[in-house]
Chains A and B, each alone.
Chain A
């Protein structure tokens, strides 16, 4: 089953002609993803690994059925690319690009709420349903198929945890990077709901970070909905200093806000096992 991305998912890549776009298009093809082609303004008619390139998303749409698009364009182009994809009615948009201006992210998010579009990102590794398909930049071979769902704010930490699980013979149903930025459409709760309804997923790993309030809101949801599946969590940055921004994105404890204590407390009260470090997390899942 898996969520969001399945074997039959047909994917467009916006920005396929760039260095990153080209590289990850190849990696996705190697992973047997049904990439139907790409879109880059002014590059229509070209080919990338035999895939057709269109000038616009709507042009691609008239030639193919498209279930999802991956946006891997420079930060200044993300707003336009996202609007284009939404106007073409593409139901799932994965925005890989980091350093997207917050005001652009706000506009994209509000438009997606109005349109009912599922947007994952920005600043994400994307989504992988191991051994089925992926829309993203993760190295596919360190992920393996199984029954653990993973939802994470942190990209490389998802690689770390998934690969540790894989080397111990524990596979994953789907791993979703919701992205590290403060403004994003899809949050922990959206993915938790999808995992709840997915038969393949038996257990969920939630990977949070200091800063923001997404983990607390997820804890409230888990508690209030009497979430039927086991959830194991890890919050990165338990030992991080206050008032220092860890990385460029959202991870900062400021004014007593977004502390690991409040996250751990609310998750524990919701019945979630919260690991103190990565080793403990593995023990909890095994």
Chain B
């Protein structure tokens, strides 16, 4: 789960990383109240999850209350990359002396966290890496090692930073390393980390993505837990049912697969037979009768679906349980769409028997290709 800047900064403060004095506002009235508590000049920042906010005009500088109200109103009414902006973060403007970059992300090549520090902050780090590699230090973190301040000082000095800032930066870096583990993060980034005129290191921005599987372990979850607004209603329904659903738009074949790989292979096969999938749905492990039924209901509700392919295996799941879920939906909703089930594995005979009673077409030992062909034929028959 990606965090908003203000959520990330709350976690930073818990870890001892300083952030600018600020308030979150969801209305102009709240923005005004923030303006009364804070000292101008202020920065007004749209709270959005996608990048490129600065360039798209999502950050404004307010010198007085009138400007603050106008900017808050403007940013809160404007959408950002198709999503509404629900909050703005209003912060006191920093007296910037120097800007730096610090980030930790998962390196998929090495399966290790990669720490990157640069003496150039506030800019695209990939650009620094290409054009000024000597101003950047990289270090793979050892998950079994306990890091201490002197490790961080070594890393900071490799970027060419010397003198008084070293200690202040090293302390932030150590907190960031601890934050990465404590927050079960996949990515934590401060860009820019500002050194102000009084020599304080302050995180002017935050970018944190938390591993969904570790989310429940993050302390003070109430500060970060929320609905992911980038999901559409069916995706949200799927999430609460514990299945992974992605709407595709435009296709007419609904898809439920027992596993992501089989799901993607089914999509490829639907495409090979000249059709477009309307959705992707991975039923995942632990597919109970309820979960299977919920998945089928969601796919049947997907706009444009004329036929549904269920491509399932009884591995960790069990064919009988999944068949019961399918049968339940067919009995209760009597769907108009065609359903074809390809299913084998543990308890397959019991599962097949249930489906045969309802005359639901089954591919028992055939391939995914045969299932797609059968579904296409049945959809065509229905259209005639």
Contact = CB atoms under 8 A, between A and B. Distances in A.
Interface residues of B, number: 53
Given A102-B214, A163-B344, A180-B261, A156 B280 contact: no
Contacts of A240: 264, 267, 280
A160 to B, nearest CB: 6
Contacts of B262: 154, 156-157, 159-160, 236
Contact of A276 (B111, B261, B272): B272
Nearest to B314: A139
Interface stretch (B83-91, B92-100, B322-330, B361-369): B361-369
A189 interface: no
Given A236-B268, A247-B261, A248-B212, 19 more contacts: A98-B284, A101-B217, A104-B214, A107-B144, A111-B144, A139-B313, A154-B262, A157-B262, A158-B261, A159-B262, A159-B315, A182-B111, A212-B108, A236-B265, A245-B244, A246-B246, A246-B280, A247-B263, A276-B272
A136 B160 CA distance: 52
Contact of B369 (A100, A102, A236, A277): A277
A185 B112 CA distance: 11
Interface centre among B142, B212, B263 (most CB of A within 10 A): B263
Nearest to A180: B260
A183 B106 contact: yes
Given A103-B181, A236-B268, A207 B261 contact: yes
B303 interface: no
B359 to A, nearest CB: 24
Contact of B367 (A237, A244, A246, A282): A282
Interface size class of A (residues with CB under 8 A): 35 or more
Contacts, number: 176
Given A155-B315, A163-B344, A103 B211 contact: yes
A96 B316 contact: yes
A213 B109 contact: yes
Nearest to A153: B261
A32 interface: no
A170 interface: no
A251 B264 contact: yes
Contacts of B109: 213, 217
Contacts of B41: none
A285 interface: no
